[in-house]
Amino acid sequence: MSNHSKRKEEHLALAKKYFTIKDNDFDRIELVRPALPESRVSSAAIACEILGKKVKAPFYINAMTGGSEKSKEINRAIGKASRIGQIPFATGSSSILAKEKDQLASFYVAREENPDGLFFANVNPNTPANTAKNIVQELQADALQIHINTVQELAMPEGDRDFVWIDKLKAIRDVVDVPVIIKEVGFGFDKASIELLQKNNFNLIDLGGAGGTNFAQIENARSSHPLPYLDELGLSTVKSALIAEECGIDFFASGGIRNALDILKCLVLGAKSVGIANLFLQAYENSGEDGLIETVLRFEDELAGLFALFGINNVNEAKKIKYALTKGLWKELIQIIVDD
Q: Identify the H or E element spanning 59.
A: strand 59-61
Output DSSP code: residue 232. G
Which residues neighbour 114 within 8 Å (Cβ) at sequence distance 6 or greater?
79, 80, 82, 83, 89
DSSP assigned state of 58? S
Nearest by Cα to 139 from 169, 98, 110, 171: 110
Confidence (pLDDT) at 102:
87
Alpha helices by DSSP H, listed for the chain, are 3-17, 69-85, 104-113, 129-139, 150-155, 166-175, 191-199, 215-222, 237-247, 260-268, 278-309, 329-339
Q: 264 vs 12, 40, 271, 320, 330, CA distance in Å?
A: 28, 17, 9, 12, 19
Full-prediction pTM beyond 0.85?
yes
> What pLDDT is attached to residue 178?
98
Q: Give the pLDDT score at 117.
A: 98
Q: What is the pLDDT of residue 4?
A: 63
**pLDDT at 3 (0 to 100):** 62
pLDDT mean values, one per 10 residues, the chain (340 residues): 65 70 90 97 98 98 84 94 98 87 91 97 96 96 97 93 97 98 97 98 97 89 94 95 97 97 98 96 95 98 98 97 89 70
Q: What's the residue count for the chain?
A: 340
The whole-number pLDDT of residue 5 equals 63
Q: State residue 14's pLDDT score.
A: 64
| Helix (H), strand (E) counts: the chain | 12, 12
Element (H, E) at 29: strand 29-31
Q: Of 166, 234, 152, whose CA–CA distance to 195 is shortest? A: 166
